[in-house]
């Protein structure tokens, strides 16, 4: 399924704008007015916001994502999913049932992402995974948040890549699928979010929304 990356347009600055201001001094440069300094700061903040936020448009879903990376620290990811369809949507960001049962994850919380390394590139994923073969004794049943038509779901997580070398680029993918009750069971309402156990078959039918690559050295997403 094809997707297109849109120009960053975060709707709520408090959640998505990550600002940094840099001031430099040089001999022989005349002083500037307070108004000029303010304008420069606002320009730098706007540029930083555009560099660290992106929007991915899918079929019936829009994903707004913000990345923040600090030297030696984890990648901080904040996101907002909009259901733009006229039917309910399942969002596969809640991990799996086995992780909850063994206490590795709090029920209803955003799960740990899976990851794949390819050279200096690392892809993080919150998606419905297929059932491994041979099947484990306690299958890791995918968990999904139900997002009603026209609704919005917010989440966040942090990730430190357990790789031998620090990654150069990272991206994140999120799986979503139309919510058909035949594919879901055992609903729970946790923190005002409906969490459902999903069929493993959805691993083959989900839509995957992926951000552009995020360059960790520059702190910027790749151009569209």
Would residue 25 count as lying in a domain?
A: no
- Following CA atoms 186, 187, 188, 191 in sequence, which dihedral angle do they give, to the nearest 10 degrees? 150
What is the model's pLDDT at position 31?
41
Which of 38-63 are b and which e, b meaning 16 or more Cβ less than 10 Å from the residue's Cβ?
A: eeeeeeebeebbbbbbbbbebebbbb
Token pair 């919510």 in the structure block, residue: 179
Model pTM above 0.75? yes
In a domain, 203, yes or no: yes
Q: How many CB atoms lie within 10 A of CB 194?
A: 18
Residue 92 belongs to a domain: yes
Looking at the domain assignment, is residue 122 inside a domain?
Answer: yes
What pLDDT is recorded for position 23? 32
What pLDDT score was predicted for residue 157?
96
Q: Report the phi/psi class of residue 108: left, alpha or beta, with left for phi > 0 and alpha for psi in -120 to 50.
A: left
Q: Please give the residue range of the domain that contains residue 52.
A: 32-221
**201 lies in some domain:** yes
In a domain, 190, yes or no: yes
pLDDT at res. 162: 86
Q: Domains in the chain: how many in total?
A: 1
* pLDDT at residue 75, rounded to an integer: 94
**171-188 in b/e burial notation, b at 16+ Cβ within 10 A?**
bbbbbbbbbeeebbeeee
Structural domain contains residue 16: no
Q: Quote the pLDDT of residue 51.
A: 52
How confident is the model at residue 73, as a pLDDT? 84
What's the confidence (pLDDT) of residue 143? 98
Residue 21 lies in a domain: no
Q: What is the pLDDT along the chain (224 residues), one digit of tens a residue?
A: 444 444 344 333 333 333 333 333 333 333 433 433 444 444 444 334 445 999 999 999 999 999 998 777 899 999 999 999 999 999 999 999 999 999 999 999 999 999 999 989 999 999 999 998 888 888 999 999 999 999 999 999 999 988 888 899 999 999 999 999 999 999 999 999 999 999 999 999 999 999 999 999 999 998 86
Q: What are phi and psi of 152, to 5 degrees?
A: -135, 140
């Amino acid at each position: 399924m094809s997707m297109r990356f849109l120009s960053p347009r975060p709707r709520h600055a408090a959640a998505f704008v990550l600002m940094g201001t840099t001031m430099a001094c040089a001999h022989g440069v005349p002083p500037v007015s307070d108004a000029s300094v303010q304008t420069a700061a606002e320009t730098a903040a706007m540029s930083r916001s555009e560099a660290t936020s992106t929007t991915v448009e899918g079929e019936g879903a829009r994903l707004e994502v913000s990345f923040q990376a600090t030297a030696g620290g984890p990648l901080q990811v904040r996101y907002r999913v909009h259901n733009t369809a006229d039917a309910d949507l399942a969002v596969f960001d809640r991990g799996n049932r086995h992780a909850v049962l063994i206490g590795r994850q709090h029920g209803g919380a955003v799960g740990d992402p899976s990851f794949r390394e390819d050279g200096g590139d690392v892809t993080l994923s919150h998606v419905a995974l297929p059932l491994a073969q041979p099947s484990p004794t306690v299958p890791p049943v995918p968990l999904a948040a139900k997002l009603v038509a026209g609704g919005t779901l917010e989440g966040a997580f942090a990730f430190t890549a357990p790789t031998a070398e620090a990654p150069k680029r990272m991206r994140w993918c999120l799986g979503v699928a139309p919510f058909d009750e035949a594919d879901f069971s055992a609903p729970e309402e946790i923190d005002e979010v409906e969490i459902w156990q999903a069929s493993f078959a959805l691993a083959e039918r989900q839509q995957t929304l992926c951000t552009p690559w995020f360059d960790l050295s520059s702190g910027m997403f790749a151009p569209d």
